[in-house]
Structure 1
Amino acid sequence: MTFHPSALESIPEHEAINLVSDKMMVLNKQTRFSFWECSHLDCIAYPGSKRAMFCRAIQRPLWALIFIIGILTVAWQCFLYLFPYNVELVNFPSERSSSFSDWSTYGVIPIPCHSHNDYWRHVPLRSALRAGCISVEVDVWPWGNEILVGHSPSTVLRGTLQSLYLDPLLKMLDTHNEPPSHNWPKVMSQEMVGLFSNDPKQSLTLLVDCKTEGDRTWPLLVEQLNPFREKGYLTHFNGSDVVYGPITVVVSGDAPLHLLLENTTYRDVFYDAPLDNLTFPAEITADDNKSMDSTYNPSNSYYASADFRTAIGSLSLSRLSDVQLAILRSQVRAAHKLGLKVRYWGTPTWPVGLRNYVWHVLVHEGVDVINTDDLRGATRQDWKPHHRWQWWV
């Protein structure tokens, strides 16, 4: 029923007061409880007016849109939290030209992450490089004269180590190290650069995990590395020192250590030493050359790795205990005294909060690369060993 103020003139005063009071109560109730209605008094008093109809036409869709956007935002954040591996890193092209614009890693900042089982990614190798990972892992199987890639014989990919990794790496390095012009003087030869434009001296570690028959895989790998070797792209041991190059090749799994150690004057493939089984003389210091007397040293090994659950143990109360932290520190200290870089695999992956906590503790304690399946999550971390993380341990 429509109410108009002129109607009050034809009724007694006490009835007019009651009528106005009742009408105000109705208006208060409508204003308080009507979420979709306009709060203007005129729109409430005259719901059939043009203004009221206009407000309803605008306000209801607006609130509905805000509600839908809110639901979608919450759903997307829940998806990222629960299933981070299903979202690949997206790089947007930069409009600013640069001398490094033709690099596939232009604008990428290298981070100490290790792309675990990299061949499972939508774009093997390149996804890890675009995320800034300085280490990638590939499982291999010998097959005739080729080295196949896959976690098991039943899941090998169509590509090979050559086609999926070695050929793309060689092409990128050739492009990055191409002289500015054909007339470039030989005396002004360029210094060797790697894969990352933001840090051209950063070496990429290619961890080759030999799943079986390491003795058969070894000669195939050594032969396929010849183009890198001839162009000086490989980190190598020259008989006295380790000379770092754009690519550092490390073998793991069933890799034949005895074949790697045969050549005592030159090596460009290094071993992944067992982190939880290192032995070294107690008197060795970080800068002591006696570390070369150990079975695993920089002349033959690059990484020292271990399964986190085996070496450290499972986490109770979602944190590292004092005993576990002491074990972690002793293993990191032992590897660093020998000149090796530390890596743990099998770290917690879910829930994300626990995963990030373990990552940050490892970085704070000096672990050199973080094993990860979630490239997107890795790029969101601050990998500097800040002291503010100490309260977590």
Structure 2
Amino acid sequence: MSLSEPLLGETSDAENQDTPQWKESKRRRQHLPRRIDDVGSTSRWKGYRLFLMLGTGALLLLGFVQLVSILIGLVSLVLPTGVDKIVRDWGRPGHLGAGLVHYPTDFSRDILPKACHSHNDYWRDVPLFSAIRSGCIGVEADIWRFDKDLYVGHSITSLTPNRTLASLYINPLLDILEKQNPTPQIMPDSDKSLHGVFDTDQAQTLILLIDFKTYGPSTWPAMYSALDPLRTKGYLTHVANNTIIQRPITVVGTGNTPFDKVVSLDANPHQDVFFDAPLEQMYLGPKNETAPPSLPNTPSDSDLRPRSAEEPVEQSGQGQNDTPSSSDAYNELNSYYASVSFNKVIGHLDRGEFSEAQLDLVRGYINGAQARGLKARYWDTPFWPIGLRNHVWDTLMKEGADFLNVDDLVGATQSDWGKWKGWWRRGKRTGSWKGH
């Protein structure tokens, strides 16, 4: 072998010069060990891929289950069971129950009466009927007398010629009660009792609270005459021989209603209009004390005094229009409700809770009203926050109030008041109110 020949395994300078640089770099990388951080990156990437694959698989599985559930629901709609099919088609011509859907007194079928009063009922999109549909057994109409007509509305500017006590309440009630009291088709002479508006409780009376907005003595005759159609049919609760005869409608006067007209046999000969007595005069404590304890946020005695009928109309109101100063004047033979503004006698709830003194007041007023045979009602209760409103409602009913004065019919009759605990309860639990 010549000395000029390259040794085995050696590369001549010419060959080295002919080898491209990128091939040389690749050859070197193939013989070098990987760096530690490159190995870690690869492992993490494999972990991410595995996580994504598992997550995607889980979502696909859940989607498949949901799809199957939807398909099963669609199948049940398209191919209902025997009972579902009967219920769906009941009463339709050619199906089971044809001609059996309705019965004479089904106007308010399945509606359960509830102890709520539809405040400012005439404001609703559908006065009277919305309250009945919700089960409220009390409705309210504000009346204004001009000439011989009684208009219904919250203020003079809201009055229109066609919105009257007759058109919104008297005539609809006549129609409802005519339907609820048909001549029986079987044994027509067997049932002589009058049925109220609620089919599920035909003995339940409906309270029609009439709020006098104009001067009481001059409004009274027009109001009393407006009730004649209901009176003639025997639909009005009245007093006879010192006994209450309950009928489908109980009329109660509030606002500027003159108490002396209510108790006068000349002005109220049928004794079928009752009074909304001032609850603030009826406190009766646990030891029969009649002087309510004072609270820092409640008005003074001078603010609670009855007002004279000679004072301007805008300064008068429920229980303040020439009413007796003694609570002994009110009883179940001349009054039905005993009402007061919650804000006026109970005041602000500190941190959204009743104090013990406030609870004593609530109980004392309710006790005093019920001792006289009257229904205790607080109006002007908090309406917001919703949790605070519900808390007040719940407390009043637990303490024995007879009626809730409500604007929100759905919230009062269909909601669970204890479901949502408001900020005041959360604050009390966590102690976040400390220092405020």
Q: Would you say same fold, with TM above 0.5?
A: yes
Q: CA-to-partner distance for each residue in 1:320-343, whole Å, 9 max, x for gaps?
A: 111111111111111111111000
- Specify the alignment match of 1:257 in structure 2: 259
Q: CA-to-partner distance for each residue in 1:160-211, whole Å, 9 max, x for gaps?
A: 1100111001100011001123x8544x233211011111111100000001
Q: Is 1:168 matched with 2:172?
A: yes
* Aligned partner of 2:132 among 129, 136, 149: 129
- Specify the code of the residue in structure 2 equivalent to 1:323: A
Q: Is 1:119 matched with 2:122?
A: yes
- Specify the alignment match of 2:244 in structure 1: 242
- Specify the alignment match of 1:359 in structure 2: 393
2:211, 2:50 → 1: CA distance?
Answer: 69
1:314, 1:369 → 2: CA distance?
Answer: 21
Q: Is 1:310 matched with 2:344?
A: yes
- Specify the alignment match of 1:268 in structure 2: 272
Q: Structure 1 pair 277/193, CA: closer, same or farther in 2 (3 Å)?
A: same
Q: Is the 8 A contact 1:100 1:197 kept in 2?
A: no
- Specify the alignment match of 1:3 in structure 2: none
For the pair shown, which has the larger CA radius of gyration, 1 or 2?
2
Q: Is 1:341 matched with 2:375?
A: yes
- Specify the code of the residue in structure 1 equivalent to 2:120: N
Alignment length (residue pairs) = 315
2:276, 2:131 → 1: CA distance?
Answer: 20
1:329, 1:368 → 2: CA distance?
Answer: 12
- Specify the alignment match of 1:159 in structure 2: 163
Q: CA deviation at 1:137?
A: 1.0
- Specify the alignment match of 2:335 in structure 1: 301
Q: CA-to-partner distance for each residue in 1:120-158, whole Å, 9 max, x for gaps?
A: 111001111000001011111012221101111011254
Q: Is the 8 A contact 2:118 2:406 kept in 1?
A: yes
Q: Is 1:217 matched with 2:251?
A: no
- Specify the alignment match of 1:369 in structure 2: 403
Q: CA-to-partner distance for each residue in 1:259-304, whole Å, 9 max, x for gaps?
A: 1211187400000000002389x989xxxxxxxx931111110000
* Aligned partner of 2:113 among 110, 115, 118: 110
Q: Is 1:139 matched with 2:142?
A: yes
Could you tell which deviates more after superposition, 215-224 or 344-353?
A: 215-224
1:279, 1:320 → 2: CA distance?
Answer: 18
- Specify the alignment match of 2:45 in structure 1: 26
1:102, 1:193 → 2: CA distance?
Answer: 9
Q: CA deviation at 1:14?
A: 7.4
**Superposed CA RMSD:** 3.6
1:13, 1:198 → 2: CA distance?
Answer: 92
Q: Is the partner of 2:106 in helix, strand or coil?
A: coil
- Specify the code of the residue in structure 2 equivalent to 1:214: G
1:344, 1:353 → 2: CA distance?
Answer: 18
- Specify the code of the residue in structure 1 equivalent to 2:116: C
Structure showing greater relative contact order (alpha-carbon pairs closer than 8 Å, 6 or more residues apart): 1
Q: Is the 8 A contact 1:238 1:265 kept in 2?
A: no
So what's the TM-score if we normalise by structure 1? 0.71
Q: Structure 1 pair 13/131, CA: closer, same or farther in 2 (3 Å)?
A: farther
Q: Is the partner of 1:134 in helix, strand or coil?
A: strand
- Specify the code of the residue in structure 1 equivalent to 2:157: S
2:141, 2:47 → 1: CA distance?
Answer: 70
1:189, 1:143 → 2: CA distance?
Answer: 42
Q: CA deviation at 1:104?
A: 3.0
Could you tell which deviates more after superposition, 257-266 or 149-158?
A: 257-266
Could you tell which deviates more after superposition, 220-229 or 374-383?
A: 374-383
- Specify the code of the residue in structure 1 equivalent to 2:211: D
- Specify the alignment match of 2:209 in structure 1: 207
1:12, 1:215 → 2: CA distance?
Answer: 114
2:397, 2:89 → 1: CA distance?
Answer: 31
> Mind listing any 5+ residue stretches in structure 2 that lack a counterpart?
1-29, 68-87, 92-99, 290-326, 418-424, 429-436
So what's the TM-score if we normalise by structure 2? 0.64
Could you tell which deviates more after superposition, 330-339 or 189-198?
A: 189-198
